[in-house]
Structure 1
Amino acid sequence: MELPSAAWVPCNIQMDNWTMEPAVWVSGFPAVEYQYAATEIFGNCLQISDPSPSIGRLVEYAQATQHDLIKVAEAQEFEVDMNNMEAKIRDNTICAFQGTAQEFKDDMDTMRMKIHRYPASLRGFDEWYSVPRMVAMGPYHHGCVLQDHLKQVEKVKYVAAYHCVMESGHSLQEVYDAVVSAAHVARRLYDNDLMAGISDGDFLPMMFYDACFLVQYMLWCTPAATEMEASLRSFFDFNRKVLRHDLMLLENQIPWLVVETVMRFRPVELVDFVADWRHYLKDRKVLEEKLIVLDNSYEPPHLLGLLRFYMVGRSNTRVHTRDKFNSISVSVSAIELAEIGITLTAKETRELIHMGISKKGILSAELSLAPLSLDDERASFLINMAALELCTTSNFGEAGDEDSAVCSYLLLLSMLVHREEDVQELRTKHLLQGGAGLINKDSLGFFTSLQSLPLRGLCYGRVMVEIERYKVKRRIRIMVHAFIYRNKRTILTAISVIGVLVSILGTLMSLKSKSKI
């Protein structure tokens, strides 16, 4: 067998007395095991006939080669393992991405039903609009340790739950088990990160007590309040304003499916309840008002969503014309509207969605909106309804008018107000009603803070298009009206002077006629 680079010349020995045979082959190279027929024959007589390696070095070389080859094989095996590990990591990463993507999709699919946190675009507002003053509903404001000012009402929740179960005619276990079944579904509607730190042992009783309390409150808002236990009714009577504030906060909601579960045992006339709230934003209550008709196709996410649905109303506009303008204003002041002949008018409606421009005469038109009686609680209610729209509507341009009506309503009011005189003008036009709410200075602060709202809202956009269309189609009339509006004092003075001159001239003519007689 010939080995490369190995020339062996034995000294005074017979080469037939030893044999060399390959034992194993690794990657094409022999790992050689040498067998000697008689070790003593070799002795120390193996000598190098030239500078080539000796047999000992050949063995060392073969062993080193085998060791290196083993290292190569191990390295290759390690590389394979590393590749497998990297593949597993990639697979695990893809699985993690897929899980996150699926979770995100599920959140988006249930976006309209979730219990949302206050949107970042509105966090510049005071805590009055987002933090409960008396009662915490759901997990967002319970926290690890309930704040002191919220602890007292927790005892009232036990009282409300007791009366709710007793008045239902069902056992506590039956009502509680039904709520627990619904609460397991409702749990997924809250913020995942927050819920990770809340056990079912805390969450399930919370849903039971909160839902019973809310149902008892809803009963208090209806004629059934006369049948309510006196002490509980007195609590609701004494705290009506702060409860209206707290129970309408976006972060202070509980899923409607849990509330509905309790109402199966202790029914509430929703027609009476919604009717009681319909006049909330106005200062006048119609005594002989027609009953509302509930929309059975609507599935509310929570109490705030239910009331917003009926206070917004339904739009009659289904087709939106797309006018072509080189440019369009995104806002306009009350003074600009007055100059071009558009006056402000309070619309005879309770539904916020009804807003728009209508012709009034040859030189003028009207911008009509639903009237508003503004105080702290109503301001908070409006902001939280707008917050709900921002959280549940991904694309305002493709959504219906109803999905952004509150944002549109608030944006239109905010663009009309820049000074206290503008607020007074809204009162003069009866868009702001009542005298027991916010004074002009505070109303101005509220309306100017609304300018931080995103410029969203299909109704708002349509009104701005209608204003632009009015400007384009009535250019000459607007010029005439603007001239009269800007110079009305001079014109009135001139008319007065002319009137005086005519009167004097008439008197002179009368005297002249008498002198001829």
Structure 2
Amino acid sequence: MVAVFNKELLSWYLITLKLRETLGSAVSPSLAGAPRLQFPEQPQHEQKKQQQTPSDSLQIVIEGDGENHEDEETRSPDFDWVLSIKKQIVQAGQEDKAGSWSKFSIYRVPHYLREVDDKAYVPQIISLGPYHHGKKRLRQMNKHKWRCLHHVLKRTNQDIKLYLDTVREIEEKARSCYAGPINLSSNEFVEMMVLDGCFMLELFRGVAEGFKKLGYPRNDPVFAMRGSMHSIQRDMIMLENQLPFFVLDRLLGLQFNNSCQKGLLAQLALIFFDPLMPSPLTKSDRITLELSLGSAAIFDPLSDQGGLHCLDVFRKSLLRTGPKPVPGYWTKRSSNANRVADKRRQQLIHCVTELREAGIKLRKRKTDRFWDVKFEKGILRVPRLLIHDGTKSLFLNLIALEQCHIDCGNEITSFVIFMDNLINSPEDVAYLHYCGIIEHWLGSDADVADLFNQLCQEVVFDINDSYLSQLSENVNHYYNHKWNTWRASLKHNYFSNPWAIVSLFAAVVLLLLTFIQAFYGVYAYYRPRSPRS
């Protein structure tokens, strides 16, 4: 053990160590036995003086022998680098053991998906949850959040502490739903959950029960169902702008003084997001469907399992019973190479123009399940699909959820890719519109074609894992049958209108008369009549 009790001697000691290191590297091995620099002994009177004035001294104790010091001084220059790598490995092992990502349900959209349209994933009016919390352009809605919280507390005659304490009990569970660290303190996170959650519930109840009944004036800037409501609905369905469903369920239970209102929140959410549905029915079609389905038309997204958030519940409502993937057989199942983001490997079906040339007819199917496509006896039946200015953002966020969450299927992605294959040009959109399959509120048919052609760029998709794979195989088998193509060409060229039919009939008659004339000419030549005697 070496003890240093004086600041001046400490400086001398450090200088000596530096000189020893320099000389040690320069001296040859033959001089290894040469005497080294010795550390000067401290006089006794200096030690006594140091003990008498402890305030001016600095004590450093170094344990170990000289050999250890020498190893430490001559260690590899990569020692710190290797040590940092080992620390990273240990930290990764701890995170892997914890497995916190298994609880994620609200994700940040990956960068490769954002390249299509970043604006489709970013809220424009209101922020919900921590991902976009505090952004300057979204703060204007905060005053309306506080105003709606005031309405809730006044209407229920409850204290805010009840809401804060309730959310604090599930704070850790709520934090674990979000991917990545949340840079908010406990109080800030709980406050955000209560504020955003009560705002969402007021919107849900206001649309279902009426905002006037909840105490809002008819000219309310937010709750009057005018102007910005459509934009608010579009923001609230985005993947990065979600609150855990169990948080909303607990807050709704406080308002009704009931901790068990299973299915009520889901029903309120679906009523609120109904304008975003991509397959609305006409009045006559809805009556026909209700008569055919009866009580089966009632849907409860939480009947079998809890919803993750509003986007997840909305997706479940779209799928209803949920189509099950049927593996295809035109590619090898053992190969993993087909699970790539390559549009050439995502070809499920030919475009509308090519299908018509092969004699395949397209008809509208009367159902509110937009994904429920059928093919039978050369007729492809596709449900009606409504395209508006919020459709692109809706489909992109649904696809992002299916890409990020391992427990989600790929039904929405499969249908969008199917429609992308059907639509290659504005002419394809025009024919689908003529058939009543597509109705859009966009500028032109070309805008609809561009929309579908851009939705699934950079999307990872396996055509063998699509619920439409078997249907596509049946369509392609019909398409590859040459007789169907010839028959369709004949019908298109000669039976497309009455005048073409008349022309074809006249040509057939003329051809028949010509054949009869030629027959009798040849017959008379070989079998001439015998002259009369």
Q: Which residue of 1 aligns with 2:93?
A: 98
Alignment partner for residue 345 of structure 1, among 350, 356, 363? 363
Alignment partner for residue 315 of structure 1, among 319, 322, 333? 322
Q: Which residue of 2 aligns with 1:175?
A: 163
CA distance 1:124–1:411, shift in 2 (3 Å): same
Alignment partner for residue 204 of structure 1, among 185, 190, 213? 190
The 1-side partners of 2:250 and 2:505 are apart by: 76
CA distance 1:301–1:160, shift in 2 (3 Å): same
Aligned ranges for residues 132-281 of structure 1 at < 5 Å?
A: 132-143=123-134, 146-148=135-137, 150-193=138-181, 195-196=182-183, 198-223=184-209, 225=211, 227-231=213-217, 234=220, 235-236=222-223, 237-238=225-226, 239-267=228-256, 270-275=266-271, 277-278=273-274, 280-281=277-278
Q: Give yes or no for contact 2:327–2:464 (8 Å, CA) kept in 1.
A: no
Q: Give yes or no for contact 2:426–2:446 (8 Å, CA) kept in 1.
A: yes
Paired residue type of 1:274: L
Report whether the alignment pairs 1:386 with 2:383: no
Q: Which residue of 1 aligns with 2:307?
A: 300
Structure 2: any 5+ residue segments left out of the alignment?
Answer: 1-31, 39-63, 257-263, 291-296, 333-337, 339-343, 512-533
CA offset digits 1:421-456 (Å, max 9, x no partner): 1111121222212x5445323212211212414252
CA distance 1:312–1:64, shift in 2 (3 Å): same
SS at 2:419's partner residue? helix
Paired residue type of 2:423: V
CA distance 1:240–1:457, shift in 2 (3 Å): farther
Paired residue type of 2:376: K
| CA deviation after TM superposition for structure 1 residue 467, in Å | 3.0
The 2-side partners of 1:502 and 1:324 are apart by: 43
The 2-side partners of 1:413 and 1:335 are apart by: 13
Q: Give yes or no for contact 1:282–1:373 (8 Å, CA) kept in 2.
A: yes
The 2-side partners of 1:153 and 1:487 are apart by: 63
The 1-side partners of 2:250 and 2:328 are apart by: 46
CA distance 1:330–1:270, shift in 2 (3 Å): closer
| CA deviation after TM superposition for structure 1 residue 495, in Å | 3.4
Q: Give yes or no for contact 2:328–2:473 (8 Å, CA) kept in 1.
A: no
Q: Which residue of 1 aligns with 2:103?
A: 110
CA offset digits 1:254-276 (Å, max 9, x no partner): 22222122111125553354255
CA offset digits 1:378-419 (Å, max 9, x no partner): 3211211111111113xxxxx7xx611111111111112222
CA distance 1:329–1:128, shift in 2 (3 Å): closer
CA distance 1:459–1:376, shift in 2 (3 Å): farther
Q: Which residue of 2 aligns with 1:17?
A: none
CA distance 1:172–1:294, shift in 2 (3 Å): same
Q: Give yes or no for contact 1:275–1:291 (8 Å, CA) kept in 2.
A: no
Paired residue type of 1:123: R
Alignment partner for residue 480 of structure 1, among 478, 483, 486? 483
Q: Give yes or no for contact 1:119–1:390 (8 Å, CA) kept in 2.
A: no
Paired residue type of 1:243: I
Q: Give yes or no for contact 2:301–2:316 (8 Å, CA) kept in 1.
A: no
Report whether the alignment pairs 1:376 with 2:389: yes
| CA deviation after TM superposition for structure 1 residue 494, in Å | 6.1
The 2-side partners of 1:127 and 1:430 are apart by: 31
Q: Give yes or no for contact 1:281–1:372 (8 Å, CA) kept in 2.
A: yes
| CA deviation after TM superposition for structure 1 residue 156, in Å | 0.5
Paired residue type of 1:162: H
Number of aligned residue pairs: 415
Paired residue type of 1:209: L
Alignment partner for residue 443 of structure 1, among 430, 433, 448? 448
Q: Give yes or no for contact 1:211–1:259 (8 Å, CA) kept in 2.
A: yes
CA distance 1:216–1:497, shift in 2 (3 Å): same
SS at 1:403's partner residue? coil
SS at 2:125's partner residue? coil
Q: Give yes or no for contact 1:344–1:429 (8 Å, CA) kept in 2.
A: yes
Of the structure 1 ranges 254-263 and 230-239, higher mean CA displacement relative to structure 2 is found in 230-239
CA distance 1:140–1:413, shift in 2 (3 Å): same
The 2-side partners of 1:281 and 1:379 are apart by: 11
| CA deviation after TM superposition for structure 1 residue 64, in Å | 5.8
RMSD, aligned CA: 3.7
Paired residue type of 2:114: R
CA distance 1:329–1:484, shift in 2 (3 Å): farther
Percent identical residues: 18
The 1-side partners of 2:463 and 2:305 are apart by: 21
CA offset digits 1:439-495 (Å, max 9, x no partner): 3232122112124142526687453443334544785xx212212333444433763
Q: Which residue of 2 aligns with 1:417?
A: 423
| CA deviation after TM superposition for structure 1 residue 246, in Å | 0.9
CA distance 1:467–1:175, shift in 2 (3 Å): closer
CA distance 1:429–1:459, shift in 2 (3 Å): farther
Paired residue type of 1:334: V
Paired residue type of 1:342: I
CA offset digits 1:116-164 (Å, max 9, x no partner): 1122232123343112121111122224xx323x222111101111122
| CA deviation after TM superposition for structure 1 residue 209, in Å | 0.6
- TM-score computed with the length of structure 1 as normaliser: 0.69
CA distance 1:223–1:181, shift in 2 (3 Å): same
Q: Give yes or no for contact 2:132–2:241 (8 Å, CA) kept in 1.
A: yes
Paired residue type of 1:271: Q
SS at 2:375's partner residue? strand
The 1-side partners of 2:357 and 2:460 are apart by: 24
Q: Give yes or no for contact 1:374–1:437 (8 Å, CA) kept in 2.
A: yes
The 1-side partners of 2:219 and 2:464 are apart by: 40
CA distance 1:162–1:208, shift in 2 (3 Å): same
